[in-house]
Amino acid sequence: MADSPIRVAVLISGSGTNLQALIDAQQRGELPVTIAVVVSNRPGVLGLNRAQNAGIPTQVIDHREFNSRTAFDKAMMIAIDQYQPDLLVLAGFMRILTPEFVGHYTGRMMNIHPSLLPNYPGLHTHRRALEAGDAYHGVTVHFVTEQLDGGPPIVQARVPVLPDDTEEALAERVLEQEHVIYPLAVRWFAEGRLHLEGDRSKLDGELLPPQGHLIDATG
């Protein structure tokens, strides 16, 4: 008998292709989790349809209905905790979270950020990599801490920047790798192999390198 699968809450703001990658991996039997709820801060987004099509409960907590980040985060915590998640997965979630929220889920919340952290925390990462003339770009899964996009990396995938790249083409090349590394990181956590220890990530009892486990997709 396998252990009972861990319960995951996925937070989204938009199209939810990373959510779909997790749903697909779960349905293929490659991800021992129950996706207990999908929470969106934006009503009407495609990610909510993806959840509904997979029979996953959804909650919309519209940040525009709250007077402060603290009030919004409090409402999210109340909604999320009804589902008793073991892990929170930020998948294209676009609201900065308060220290109170982060503290409540320390060591059990991860994010996927479309850059090779510590490069380009924050927004518009593909544009910034192109403008800098970088040869490589990529994506990082990391544990969430109070420091925006500054928590310990878990896994990073590197992709080439091509000569005539546009922001859209580069984003698409990165997104393809996102759909590989996010299910992998969630799987490690679900298998009890991945932990946050202080300010580092540990896999199978070993500290991971500062940039996490590296996957090279540069050919």
Which residues form the catalytic set?
Answer: 113
The closest alpha carbon to 127, from 115, 113, 118, 139, belongs to 115
Phi and psi at 140, nearest 5°, equal: -130, 135
Determine the Cα–Cα distance for residues 14 and 33; give it in Å rounded to an integer. 22
What is the distance between the alpha carbons of residues 115 and 138, in angstroms, rounded to a whole number? 5
CA–CA gap between residue 104 and residue 208 (Å, rounded): 24
Choose the stretch contacting ligand NHR; rule: CB under 6 A; options: 22-30, 71-79, 144-152, 162-170.
144-152
Among positions 101, 105, 141, 178, the unique one binding ligand GAR when judged by CB under 6 A: 178
Measured from the CB atom, is 108 or 142 closer to ligand GAR?
142
Q: Which residue in the set 78, 132, 135, 148 belongs to the binding site for ligand NHR (CB under 6 A)? A: 148
Q: Check residue 113 for interaction with ligand NHR (CB under 6 A).
A: yes
**Based on CB atoms, which residue is closest to ligand GAR, 47 or 152?**
47
Site string for ligand GAR, 87-106 (x = CB under 6 A): ----xx-x------------
CA distance 160 to 137: 6
With binding defined as CB under 6 A, does residue 93 bind ligand NHR? yes
Task: Report if residue 123 touches ligand NHR, rule: CB under 6 A.
Answer: yes
The residue behind tokens 């956590």 is 189
Q: Which of 186, 180, 188 is nearest to 206 (CA)?
A: 188
| Strand pairing category for 109-113 and 136-143 | antiparallel
Alpha-carbon dihedral angle through residues 179, 86, 125, 177, given to the nearest 10 degrees: -20
From the list 8, 30, 15, 204, the residue with the least C-alpha distance to 89 is 8
Q: Among the candidate windows 11-19, 25-33, 64-72, 96-104, which touches ligand GAR by CB under 6 A? A: 11-19
The minimum distance between CB 163 and ligand NHR, in angstroms, equals 27
Interface segment toward ligand GAR; rule CB under 6 A; list 10-18, 30-38, 140-148, 198-206: 10-18
Select the residue interacting with ligand NHR from 25, 102, 154, 196 (CB under 6 A): 102
Q: Is 97 in the site for ligand NHR (CB under 6 A)?
A: yes
- Residue 90 CB, shortest distance to ligand GAR, in Å, is 7
111 touches 93 (CB < 8 A): yes
User: Binding residues for ligand GAR, per CB under 6 A?
Assistant: 12, 14-18, 47, 91-92, 94, 112, 114, 175, 178
